[in-house]
Amino acid sequence: MYTTRTSSFLLIISVAIVSSCVVVSGQLPPTGQALLEQNADRVLGLPGQPPVSFSQYAGYVTVNESHGRALFYWFFEAAKSPKKKPLLLWLNGGPGCSSIGFGGLEELGPFVVQKGESKLLLNKEAWNKAANLLFLESPVGVGFSYTNTSTDIKQLGDKITAQDSYTFIRKWFKRFPQYKTHEFYIAGESYAGHYVPQLAELIYDNNKNISEQDRINFKGIMIGNALLDDETDQTGMIDYAWDHAVISDRVYHDVKTKCNFSDPKSSTDCDIALGEYFQVYKLIDMYSLYAPTCVDVNSSSTQRTHMHGNVSPIIFSKHKEWHSKPTGYDPCQSDYTESYLNKPNVQAALHANTTKIPYPWTHCSDAITFWNDAPASILPIIRKLVAGSIRVWVYSGDTDGRIPVTATRLSLRKLGFKTIEEWSPWYSKNQVGGWTIRYDGLKFVTIRGAGHQVPTFKPKEALELVRHFLSNQKLPSVPF
């Protein structure tokens, strides 16, 4: 007779066997509180979601108990063999923009919101084909992440963002101990050129001072179209615009002669010259020069902001066009995402907005209007990580005018690294996917025809890129 007692006994034996197998394979099985928290965060299904074979989780991790600061995450296990795949954390920038909105639902996550419907489509080139994929809305005030201490918003900056993200990671591993031994990587784009290296530095430094069992198995970072150095980023924007026939010779000459991008204090003449430079980006998309703009009369896409507050570079940050939002193949895609994430049944399925935040979810936070600290250059951190044998890849979509390939090449030149493998093409099947160069400790890759959000514009090439980054393999140098 199959009794309840028999069932319970078999369950205990099954758990013991599974736990034993997991430990042998290097995994740490979730038990007790961790198992309860995982089960509470498990997403059983989303409105309009197609069936999938992988598990997903979403919820909050409190990073400061006394202030009530909590960061929202969305996690997708790898589509196949999650126990054997690395863990990749993705961060979007801003500062103040959502990683689940841009990265998760419009770039590299498994789902994309369908136009005109509360329905999700599968992303065939999702990065959870290569890794276990974790998205984080950071800092507090972004997306569903919140604080119960209103003054926290006025204290935001690079340092607190990095510290809260580090606290999140450590606590997340306690909730998901089975991933603690996996190789851990961080990737991101745009202002994540600050976020990713700064978080990496914290992990790298703290790993030296904590017990072995508490260390994070941190291996590398990958940053795309990334804000790295104020002087070269701004110089590169102007050079790129002129070289791509966006601005006239006169405007180019005026900016070059009246602006000193190594000096954070701009003159009135420089402001006037930059005003003319930005005029053209009212007509075309700065984030993808050859993509269409959203012409839906009901769209709010062109009104949202992608960068906020008085962040570096200071000279450019005065101009509202500097903060405009990137767009993808469907320039109105962000409207569909915003509509979907504001639906109560979607939020309930994601265990989001549990505190009833008094404002709607948006891609970029309107509350973050001040940024407390931002170093003029991230290059010293890059040098430190490379010296510490942390894998560093930098990539650039070459049709982005916001942080163009020109700016990134100027920034990397400042590092002064020795060239190991010269500039050469890499291939995605029979076509040139872009160009790559390997320096002593760092690899730079371009993605041909991609805008600011590379996975949106070139999804196949982007998936190929991340696969080779995670395996630390050379990109294909011949057609295949």
Residues that are catalytic: 190, 400, 452
Q: How many residues does the chain have?
A: 480
* φ, ψ at 188 (rounded to 5°): 180, 180
CA 431 from chain centre, in angstroms, equals 27
State the pairing for strand pair 120-122/69-76: unpaired
Cα–Cα separations (whole angstroms), residue 463 to 111, 174, 442: 15, 29, 19
CB 371 within 8 A of CB 421: no
Q: Which residues contact 216 (CB under 8 A, 6 or more apart)?
A: 169, 170, 173, 184, 203, 207
* φ, ψ at 465 (rounded to 5°): -60, -50
DSSP 41: H
Structural tokens at position 123:
């992303």
Structural tokens at position 470:
């995670």
How large is the C-alpha radius of gyration of the chain? Answer: 23
Q: Which residues contact 451 (CB under 8 A, 6 or more apart)?
A: 285, 287, 288, 289, 291, 326, 327, 328, 397, 399, 400, 457
CB 138 within 8 A of CB 165: yes
Taking the CA of residue 246 as centre, how many other CA atoms within 13 Å lie in the half-sphere pointing to its CB? 27
Strands of 391-459 (E only): list them. Answer: 391-397, 419-428, 431-439, 442-447
DSSP 364: B
DSSP 422: E
Cα–Cα separations (whole angstroms), residue 314 to 91, 225, 262, 376, 471: 23, 19, 10, 9, 38
DSSP state string for 109-171 = SSEEEPTTSS-EEE-TT-GGGTSEEEEEE-STTSTT-B-S-GGGGGG-SHHHHHHHHHHHHHH
* φ, ψ at 454 (rounded to 5°): -55, -45
